[in-house]
A and B are shown apart, each in its own frame.
Chain A
Amino acid sequence: MIEFQHVKKIYGETAALKDLSLTIKSGSIFGFLGHNGAGKSTAIKSLVSIVQPTDGEIIIDGQSLKTHRVEIKRRIGYVPDTPDMFLQLTANEYWALIAAAFDLSEEQKRKQLNQLTDLFDMQDQRDNELDGFSHGMRQKAILIGALLSDPDIWVLDEPLQGLDPQAAYDLKELMKAHVVKGKTVIFSTHVLDTAQQLCDDLAILKKGELIYNGSVTQLLEKHPNESLEEIYLSMAGRNSENFGTILSEKRP
């Protein structure tokens, strides 16, 4: 179980997260939804230790991230929102670094890599630099790195962006299979269909504030005859009256 307890993150004068408190159950797929700048990435980056919260705490299975940082990181596989890291390394060098970080044996690394590179069709790209990869290929390389140690908790920031349909489908299936084993997947997305299709629970953020936290089923039941997109836009979206005004202003 992962608990965000009154987490705040302030950048200069801007509050990216305002008192975020929520619980993520083990064995579930949890989605962060929100517009650009809503605080999804900040919440995710706080969980994976890239961002240090200004205030509050994150507790994972009773352990505070502040005091058990390295132990907790060992349980997390993370895919960032932009796969532009370690670009001077080849895919193999990148995976070797990740394998070393998670103390995988040579045998474990080889076995996992064979499976994952086969799955994501990356066998032929192992010795090429990440720098020369397309966005989708980099995303796949980073994804393989994140899944290499078979971590309990997957934290995926916009993981489907740039993936081809086959890889996106495979990843979604992997996510479902992962939670069946009692493990956790946390991801952020802008694609509401994907969220509706995959998530057990959701957090909707708006300008750093949590405006909904609960199950997708409950949310849909509360708003019968509405799609998740319509519900989401009525909660987090622009005022439709303003939209109408903008449109009428643009008309000649």
Chain B
Amino acid sequence: MNKSHIRELFKVNLLYTNPSLTKKLRKKGGRIVSKILFEYLFLGIIFMLLYGLMMVSIDFPNYPGYFTFYIGIFTILSFSQSISSLYNVFYDSNDLDNYLPLPFHQNDVFFSKFLSISLTTLPYLLPILVLFLLMGIKSDNNLLAEILLSLLLFFCIFLLILEVTTLIVAGLTKTKLFSRHKSIITTLLLLIPTVGMVLGIFYLNTKQESVYDTGQKLADQAVFLPLLPFFHVLHSPLTLSSLMTILALLILLFVLFSLIRYWVIPNLYNASVGSGSQSLHTVSQKRRTEIPDEGLDRQLFRYHLKLIKNPTLLTQFISSTVLMPILMLFPMIFNRSFSLSFVPLKFWMVLFLVGIVLANMTINPNSLVSSIISLDRANFLFFRSLPLSMKYYLTKKFQFSIFIQITLSSLLLLALSFFSHLPLALWPFLMIGHIGGSIVTSMYYFYRDYRLLNLNWTNVTQLFSRGNGNFMIFLSLFATLFIGGIAIGLLSLIISFVSAFISLMISILILFLLIFIFFIMRHHYQKNFWDKL
């Protein structure tokens, strides 16, 4: 291996691990690689301190359940991070064939790529090292031996996550299904860890029967059996079962490494070299396809469908839309006692408001409607040159994106209504509020995309960080939650204490007010955006 080659390749790959972070840090100027390294180092230290403080009071030798619980959580977090980094570095960067004409050894290229993935995964896994060290310290064994053992086990888990991720991603990309439905599967690949992470943490939390018992003593969590051997190794390292565990772990690591070395890496290389064949094949097949004779509306719809087939875009869109409803849905599914069946019909306006607040929470800069114009890239300018009204074209764009957005979020709201046992009569109010709220919020984000138009992007994440970026997303999310929460709470309180007639009057008044605001907003965007096109 050539150290200077690996160092330079590592730097390049580090820039690819998180394109939006790279873009953000580049704007600030200075030495970009050092800044990225510092970001991950800082994140690692924060995680170690944060979770270390959380775990330090637990006497882990007496709480195997908690021990396995924490390993589970941090493994899921790291796994999710490594899948996204691996995809970005190996597949999304699409740069393997760029290295081919350069005098790099293939092994150096792959090693540096894995090194950069490791670095981005490490911060999420470091709390496990703290956990192992705490376990070791509290186990009354030789301290030095426990530290060494903790390091060994940590290293094994770290490698195991990287190897398993590599095999899953490589295995999936090798299938015929992947080559046929690349964008859908890649989206799932990026989406599943995100949703899985949320669900996994919730699941582990729900496994906890009761946190505290009556005697103020911490009650242990249910033990997650597959991770229990780690507990035994650190608790009683010199037993036969502990030694066998370490041996089995090392053998497993070796087997997985061999699979990667002799199956995955040569295939990655071949896939890259052979990529030209696919495009040629596709071209020859496409030549035989007849162009359907259909109207402009239908053609634009098909064009927009193709436009959104970007795995990163779909992942961001789906996760930003579904994550919040899923967070609300999950406790309902796992907590059978949760029910909204008692909500009387006079609360229809509250549900209407809930729909609007949810619309505000599900539509943000990561949504389809927030980047659908910029997705056009150079096509947008080309469309301008066509004898086609831009107003018509952008209306079609808006309708398309809002249709997809509302379809997805409405499905989730229906599930939310179903699992929460919300009376059927209230469902339409929730849905209408949601659709109205979605239209107004979408108007804002659609116009925002036009204002901050970026047609030169190379990675779609660049579109998400335009304007005030993630900080404003969180700020507006919390503002919506806060203001919306107060409004919903206040209205519920008033309706609970007044007669049915007065509550109906108040609700109608608010409805008219909201309809008025809706039309004011519509007029605003019509005058400032649509009429100026």
Q: Which residues of A contact B (CB under 8 A)?
A: 11-14, 16, 42, 45, 48-52, 70-71, 73-74, 76, 78, 80, 85-89, 93, 96-98, 100-103, 129, 131-132, 155
Contact = CB atoms under 8 A, between A and B. Distances in A.
17 contacts: A11-B277, A11-B280, A50-B101, A50-B273, A70-B103, A74-B103, A86-B95, A88-B22, A88-B93, A93-B12, A97-B8, A97-B11, A97-B12, A98-B102, A101-B8, A101-B102, A102-B102
Contacts of B102: 73, 97-98, 101-102
Given A93-B12, A101-B104, A52 B22 contact: no
B506 interface: no
Contacts of A97: 8-9, 11-12, 102
B496 interface: no
A12 B101 contact: no
B450 to A, nearest CB: 21
A74 B105 CA distance: 11
Interface residues of B, number: 32
A52 B273 contact: yes
B7 interface: yes
Given A14-B284, A89-B12, A129-B26, A48 B100 contact: yes
B98 interface: yes
B15 interface: yes
B19 interface: yes
Interface in B260-276: 273, 276
Given A76-B101, A93-B11, A11 B4 contact: no
Contacts of A45: 276
A167 to B, nearest CB: 22
A87 B15 CA distance: 11
Contacts of B11: 93, 96-97
- Top-5 shortest CB links A-B: A100-B8, A11-B277, A48-B101, A73-B103, A12-B281
B140 interface: no
A132 B456 CA distance: 7
A10 to B, nearest CB: 8
A73 B277 contact: no
Given A52-B273, A85-B95, A88-B459, A78 B281 contact: no
B79 interface: no
B385 interface: no
Contact of B101 (A11, A73, A93): A73
Contacts of A98: 102
B456 A131 contact: yes
Nearest to B100: A50
B276 A51 contact: yes
Contacts of A129: 26
A89 B12 CA distance: 8
B277 A12 contact: yes
Interface in B195-212: none
Contacts of A103: 4
A80 B98 CA distance: 9
A70 B105 contact: yes
B8 A96 contact: yes
A78 B101 contact: yes
A101 B281 contact: no
Given A12-B280, A73-B103, A74-B103, A131 B458 contact: yes
Main secondary structure of the interface of B (DSSP, over half): helix
Contacts of A155: 101
Which one of B4, B22, B103 has the highest number of Cβ atoms from chain A below 10 Å of its Cβ? B103
Interface in B282-316: 284
A78 B19 CA distance: 27
Nearest to B99: A101
A96 B11 CA distance: 10
Nearest to A76: B101
B279 to A, nearest CB: 9
Contacts of A11: 276-277, 280-281
Contact of A50 (B9, B97, B280, B456): B97
Contacts of B456: 131-132
Given A12-B280, A89-B15, A93-B32, 6 more contacts: A11-B281, A12-B277, A14-B281, A85-B98, A86-B98, A87-B458
A225 to B, nearest CB: 39
A86 B104 CA distance: 16
Contacts of A16: 280
A103 B102 CA distance: 11
A100 B6 CA distance: 9
Nearest to A99: B8
Given A52-B273, A101-B104, A88 B4 contact: no
A14 B95 CA distance: 25
Contact of A102 (B26, B32, B100, B103): B103
B5 interface: yes
Contacts of B5: 100-101
Nearest to A103: B4
Contacts of B105: 70
Interface in B74-99: 93, 95, 97-98
A49 B100 contact: yes
Contacts of A132: 456
Contact of A88 (B16, B104, B273): B16
B97 A88 contact: no
Contact of A101 (B15, B22, B103, B284): B103
Nearest to A71: B103
Interface string B15-49: 11001001000100000100000000000000000
Given A86-B12, A88-B19, A89-B12, A100 B103 contact: no
Contacts of B95: 85-86
A42 B95 CA distance: 18
A101 B22 CA distance: 23
Contacts of A48: 100-101
A80 B100 CA distance: 12
A198 to B, nearest CB: 22
Contacts of B277: 11-12
A185 B408 CA distance: 57
Contacts of B100: 48-50
Contacts of B284: 12-14
Contacts of B101: 48-50, 73, 76, 78, 80, 155
Nearest to A146: B101
Contacts of A96: 8, 11
Nearest to B273: A52
B532 to A, nearest CB: 28
Interface string B314-357: 00000000000000000000000000000000000000000000
B35 to A, nearest CB: 13
Nearest to B6: A100
**Best-buried of B12, B105, B281, B456 by chain A (most CB within 10 Å):** B12
A70 B19 CA distance: 30
A222 B100 CA distance: 40
A45 to B, nearest CB: 8
A57 B291 CA distance: 42
